[in-house]
Amino acid sequence: METVRLGLVGIGKIARDQHLPAIAANPDFTLAATASRHGSVEGVTGYHDIAEMAAACPLDAVSLCTPPGGRYEQALTAIEAGLHVMLEKPPAATLSHVAALEAAARRANVTLFATWHSREAAGVAPARAWLSDKKINAVRIDWREDIRRWHPGQEWILAAGGFGVFDPGINALSIATQILPEELFVEHATMDVPAGRASPLAASIAMRCGEAPVRVEFDFLQTGPQTWSIEVDTDAGTLSLAMGGSVLTLPGEEQRTEPDREYARLYARFAELIATGQSDVDVRPMRLVSDAFLLAERRTTDSFSF
């Protein structure tokens, strides 16, 4: 496959922290242009928006790192220009938008890749393999982090369509849907929404995986050490994934820890999909978020400011 000429849309924190290093390290891609209202990359031609970039610069693909609210229009612009598209998580603001993009990509014969970076954490694949023949007795998911540390000043995340605490929480759900041998179903949820905001800062969700209860706790106000853990009780003991899936502990075995290569693996997968003419669009994590919002009891809490 020839080197893919890539446009990167949205030059914010996640693009700088993760996407730019992964692109630079992957010989299958050349960063040919960027599109951003506020950011730029030294030595790379920058444009105001994706339409201007697609019209002015020869590209093969784009990677979208913008908030989910405007993702549908941006992705559709790229698809209609004949470009392959990689979407940051969550892939769009609604499930209907994702379905429409998937249909548009099929019509245009281009690749659409809805990414879930946490599935590429080092412990996820071996956890899935170990759980494949186990009886699941109970699951506990705790995803607690500091919004001011990871999303400083990002007002959009608490607005309508911003997902709130489900923006990081969907990472946990992406892992759970990948490793558990049966489907997850939401039974009940509560959400704590700050006064004057549209999206929650905390949530508790009761789910089922087959006959096994699944308890989920999301919190966006945890300071100090951050918690990203999943524990699965089975007939063969308890499996533990910590640090967002990068640290795996199996019953009777030593803890396994490997370096973070999540985004490197995502771009390797994107290159593979383009080369083979395939798409990869799994909406199960987003469907669980949608179900939680539909079923949740919403509680108004004190106002919040960054």
Q: How far apart are CA 118 and CA 10, in angstroms?
A: 20
CA–CA separation, 112 and 283 (whole Å): 13
- Is 266 in contact with 63 (CB distance < 8 Å)? no
Q: Both ends of the chain: CA-CA distance in Å?
A: 46
The active-site residue, picked from 13, 89, 134, 135, is 89
Nearest to 100 by CA among 69, 75, 66, 70: 75
Q: Is 89 among the residues known to form the active site?
A: yes
Which H or E run contains 236?
Answer: none
Rounded-to-integer distance, Cα 96 and Cα 179, Å:
26
Strand ranges in the chain using DSSP code E only, listed in sequence order: 4-9, 29-35, 46-47, 61-64, 84-87, 112-114, 136-144, 184-194, 202-209, 212-219, 227-234, 237-242, 247-249, 256-257, 297-301
Strand 256-257 with 237-242, pairing: unpaired
Tell me if 63 sits within 8 A of 143, measured CB to CB. Answer: no
Residues 6+ apart with CB under 8 A from 147: 157, 165, 201, 220, 221, 306
In whole angstroms, give the CA distance from residue 172 to residue 170: 5
- Which positions are annotated as active-site residues? 89
